[in-house]
Amino acid sequence: MVAKSGAKAAGASPGSDLDPLTGVDNRQGFLKRLEARLQSEAVPRCALLLIGIDDFRAFNDMHGHAEGDLILQRVARRLRDASPRDAAIGRIGSDEFGVLLPSIADPTLVRHVGAAILSMLSSPHESAGRRHHVLASIGACVIPAAGEQGSDVLAAASLALARAKHDGGRTIRFFKPQMRSDVTTRLSLVQALHEAYAQRQFELLYQPQVDLRDGRVHGAEALMRWRHPTRGLLPPAAFIDALAGSSIASDVGMWLLQTACAQARAWSLAFPQPPRVAINLFAAQLSESRLLTEVRHVLRALELAPDCLEIEITETIALQQGDEVADQLQALRRDGVTLTCDDFGTGYASLSFLKSFPVDRLKIDQSFIRNVTEDPVDAAIVRSVISVGASLHIGVVAEGVETTEQRDFLLANGCHEAQGYLYGRPMPAERLTEMLRQQSGR
């Protein structure tokens, strides 16, 4: 049964064990409850949920600590409302809460409670006339499988929470012993990425975007590669998730912006109709209030026209940000920078996203293009996206086009721009420059 619960639900803690901001147990008080439950019987059967607010530090930076404190208080209240009556709730860290389920050990029931919590937390928070979307992730562990000591159980839940965030957030993941070795591997990768950035091992390749009607290159997407000293040239799948979650994400993102814009400037000087260069931003860049200033500074410093730059952002990442980030991106759009919704249709709320977050182009994810000529469902989805774009006067580009059959399908249904192996794999800037020379007759 779900009912209101808080620190008093399992017996009041002394004042020193309460979090003064939210009124639930603080870390010390919560650990006492957890230890008491673990020692209450020879083989305790219970569960722990660790809830982490996604991008909360960025929220504080953007909106101030007073606004952040208000969100924390509301999160604590919603946790009480969504948790079983006998649950114990505690604030474990600045943006993390624990929920001890003392009488539930069935993973199915634990998942049910976690889903209820995520649903309640996802409702928008209204404050001072602004609407904030506060998304969260949950790491869960069932006891005794996660350990016998409170610190071990909390560490296990923390690993599960990290996996939930790694998998995109707004979800629940259960602890598995393999996670302990996975985190060691990930830490080693992050350290290697720090060294790679310091030693300038990252490179940009460019994949052409073409007009399907005449095959001419109109744009190029800048794609990162890592030239590893022993493993060779590594694709993004080998490192991009770890990089995005690391402390150097913003710095690498700025390098990417500067490098791509410098190349766009070179093409604008060499060709009368240069390709627009598209970049993908890290979530860490979007979480910073200086995004608008930095992009404008780079464009001015390079004397690059804003319409030579395209910023791609997924709807999922955009929805995790506050109104200030949306305002900054829309300001860049008014400057002339093209704003594209990447991987459209794979996020949580595609159509409502377009209403609240205007863009210039939609990018159809390659997962829908791959079997578009064989799968009626994929074909219907692609037609629908093209129709939405036409109705809203938004450009549509398809990614992952590899066959002439896919090209013909897109053309027949009104999509006139695409990228994919049919037109060129990601390539060094010099090779794309040669393509542009041949295209322009130079």
Q: For the chain, give every residue range classified as CATH 3.20.20.450.
A: 189-440
CATH number of 7-176: 3.30.70.270
Fold of 189-440: TIM Barrel (3.20.20)
Q: Which of 404, 406, 405, 384 is nearest to 396 (CA)?
A: 384
Q: Provide the whole-model pTM.
A: 0.69
* Distance between CA atoms of residues 274 and 14, nearest Å: 68
* Distance between CA atoms of residues 406 and 387, nearest Å: 17
pLDDT > 90? residue 422:
yes
- Torsion, Cα 216 222 228 232, to 10 degrees, reads -10
**Crossing angle of the two packed helices 376-391 and 404-412, in degrees rounded to 10:** 40
Q: At 15, list the tokens.
A: 């004042």
Mean pLDDT across 92-99: 95
Q: For the chain, how big is the Rg over CA atoms in Å?
A: 25
Q: Which of 7, 26, 9, 4 is nearest to 17 (CA)?
A: 26
Mean pLDDT across 359-384: 95
Mean pLDDT across 424-437: 97
The pLDDT value recorded for residue 442 is: 62
The pLDDT value recorded for residue 344 is: 82
* Distance between CA atoms of residues 107 and 199, nearest Å: 46
Q: For the chain, give every residue range classified as CATH 3.30.70.270.
A: 7-176
* Distance between CA atoms of residues 219 and 213, nearest Å: 15
Q: Quote the strand ranges of 229-298, DSSP E.
A: 232-234, 276-280
The confidence band for 203, taking pLDDT boundaries of 50, 70 and 90, is very high
314-317: list long-range contacts, CB under 8 Å, 24+ apart.
314/341, 314/342, 314/343, 314/346, 314/347, 315/341, 315/343, 315/344, 315/347, 315/348, 315/349, 315/350, 315/353, 315/357, 316/168, 316/346, 316/347, 316/348, 317/283, 317/286
Mean pLDDT across 267-274: 95
* Distance between CA atoms of residues 414 and 360, nearest Å: 17
The confidence band for 147, taking pLDDT boundaries of 50, 70 and 90, is low
Lowest mean pLDDT among 277-286, 298-307, 333-342, 350-359: 350-359
Alpha helices in 271-341 (DSSP H): 283-286, 291-302, 315-319, 323-335
The pLDDT value recorded for residue 435 is: 95
What are the pLDDT digits (tens) for 230-269? 999 999 999 998 999 899 999 999 999 999 999 999 999 9
